[in-house]
Amino acid sequence: MKFFVDTADVKEIRELNDLGLLDGVTTNPSLIAKSGRSILEVTKEICDIVSGPVSAEVTAIDYDGMMKEAAVLSKIADNICIKVPLTLDGLRACKAITSDGRKVNVTLCFSATQALLAAKAGATFISPFIGRIDDMGVNGMELIAEIRTIYDNYDYKTEILAASIRTVNHVKEAALIGADVATVPPATLKALVKHPLTDKGLEAFLADWAKTGQKIV
C-alpha cells in the first residue's frame, strides 16, 4: 500500500518525507485555506519536497473552467496530479486530461457506480471518502470492497485511494481489502507505528542493557 499524506502543511510533509514513508500528497481548497498561503506557492513547495504525485484540486465546477485551471496547475511541476470532482463535467475533464498524458485524481466518490464511471474516464486515482460514509451510519469499507471487486473484474488500472481516513483501523481495513493508496492526516500516519507492547518491550530492553554497563560506540 502507498501512503499519501493529506495536508498542505509543508513542515509536516517534509518531516514525513524525510522518514522515507511518503509516496505522495493530497491537498484540497480547505487544506490550502488552512495554510493561509497562495495555492500556487504552497503547491510548488510541496512538489519540490516529494517526488510522488501531489494532488492539486480545481475549484471550477464547469468543464471549461476545470480545463483552464488544470492547465495552470499542471505547469507547477511534473508530479502534479489534477484533482477533479466526481461530476459529469469532472469526468469529462478527467478524460481530456488523462488523454493528454497527465494524472487525475477523481475525488468525492461515495458509490461504486461513481467509481466505475471514473475508471471508464481513465482516472489515475479514485478517492472514496470512508469517514464521511461512516458518518451516515454506513460502513465506508464496504465501498472500498465493492470498488476493488469491480476494478478487478474488468482489470481497470485506476488506483483506489482511500480518503477521509480518520483512524489507524481505517488504514488496516483498507489495506486488507486491497486499496492501493491511503491518504491520511499526518497524526494518523505517525500513529501507525505505535503499540503499547512495543513501548514496553523497548523499555525492558534498555533497562537490561543499562545493567550490563556496556556501550556499542
Instruction: Name the residues annotated as catalytic.
Output: 83
- Residue 15 is given by DSSP the state H
First to last CA, the chain: 36
144 CB-contact burial (10 Å; exposed 0-12 / middle 13-18 / buried 19+): buried
Q: What are the grid coordinates assigned to 25, written together?
A: 500528497
Dihedrals φ, ψ of 105, to 5°? -110, 115
Helices (H), 36-126: 39-49, 63-74, 88-99, 112-120
- CA-based angle 58:168:173, to the nearest 5? 85
- Residue 188 is given by DSSP the state H
Strand bridging mode 80-85 / 54-57:
parallel
